[in-house]
Amino acid sequence: MTQILAWFDRRFDHAPSPELLPNLAARLRGTPARLEDLLRNQPHDLLTTKSEGKWSPQEHAGHLLDLEPLWLARVEDYVLGSTQLTLTDITNRKTDEANHNNHPLDPLLTSFRTNRHRLLTRLESLPPSAFTQSILHPRLKTPMLLMDHLHFVAEHDDHHLARIWELLEAKP
C-alpha cells in the first residue's frame, strides 16, 4: 500500500454536489464509530506509543477532538456570512499540549462523539442560504462552499483514521 500523503500536501479541488449532503453527513456521523472500532481493545502501550517523534494513535484521536470546535466555528462562519473561514493554529499546539496519552481513552472517545453530534445537529438546523455562499479558506487561499468545507472535514477525519490504522498495524 502507498504511504499516507501529509495533510498539508493535500489539495481539495473537488467537492461533492449539494444533493450528496446526506451521504457526506453519514460519513461524518460514522467517524466516532470507526475511531472507536480502531482503538477499543488495543493495549494502552500501543495506543500511546509515538513513532519517530510523531503523534501516537491516541494523540491522533485527541487531535480529532481538538478540532471539533474549529469545524463548528467554520459552520457558523457560513451562517454569519463571513468573508474568511475561522483561522486554525497550523502548528497544532493544542494537541501537542493536551497530553492525550496521559488521559484515559474512553472519555476522549465519548467527548469526540458528543462534539461530532453537536456539529451534525447544527448542520441540520442551517438555513438553505448557508449552503450557497462561498468563503475563503485561509490556508488553501481558495473559496469554499459549505459542502467543500464538510468534505474537507471528512477527508481530515479519514486522514487521521488512516494514520492510526498504519500505526496500529506497524506494532512490533
CA distance 171 to 57: 11
pLDDT digits (tens, 9 = 90+) for 13-44: 666 677 788 899 999 999 999 999 999 999 99
User: pLDDT category, 129, cuts 50, 70, 90?
Assistant: confident
Domains and CATH numbers, the chain: 21-169 (1.20.120.450)
Q: Name residues whose C-beta falls within 8 Å of residue 47's C-beta, 6 or more positions apart in sequence.
A: 39, 56, 57, 58, 101, 105
Q: Which residue has the higher pLDDT, 172 or 118?
A: 118
pLDDT per residue as tens digits for the range 132-146:
899 999 999 999 999
How many percent of the chain have pLDDT more than 70? 89
Q: What is the pLDDT of residues 81-110, one digit of tens each?
A: 999 999 999 999 999 999 999 999 999 999
